[in-house]
Amino acid sequence: DIYTEFSALKSIVMASPNDVVKMPINEPAKGKKQSQIEEYVDFYSGAGVQHIALRTDNIINAITNLKARGVEFIKVPSTYYDDIKLRLKKQGLVLNEDLETLQSLDILIDFDENGYLLQLFTKHLMDRPT
């Protein structure tokens, strides 16, 4: 079970034998407020694919190629990167990637004491909540 103060979900992750493909199966669990999973299930009147995540060893090349093929990603305000620069410095974390390049591609940076994750999100493909 995964939970916060307000919402929760039950999650089981299935993986291919070589661990290349992973598929989390999530269902809502009781919480103080409606969870994102409940909202999705209620809106679509049932289960479905909420999102797809892809892993790459080179996010800069991958995103550059996807953008060249017409994939549209959300825009990240420059203030995000101003803040992240300060937080990275405070943490003493040095990225392997060039921060200016990450910013130019709107790539988000999430980190803790164990390392960092680079990610970004496409624009919504549909006008319904996901």
Longest dimension (CA), the chain: 47
Give CA angle at 42 (122, 2), nearest 5°.
70
pLDDT band at 2 (very low <50, low <70, confident <90, very high): low
Q: How many degrees, rounded to 5, is the angle at CA 55 between CA 17 and CA 107?
A: 165
Q: Regarding beta strands 22-29 and 115-119, do their DSSP bridges make them parallel or antiparallel, or are they unpaired?
A: unpaired
Q: Where are the domains of the chain?
A: 1-50, 54-130
Give how far Cα 58 sits from Cα of 22, 63, 98, Å: 19, 9, 12
Alpha-carbon span 33 to 3, nearest angstrom: 11
Q: pLDDT tens for residues 42-70?
A: 888 888 887 788 889 999 999 999 999 99
**Predicted structure pTM score:** 0.74
Domain 54-130: CATH superfamily, name plus number:
2,3-Dihydroxybiphenyl 1,2-Dioxygenase, domain 1 (3.10.180.10)
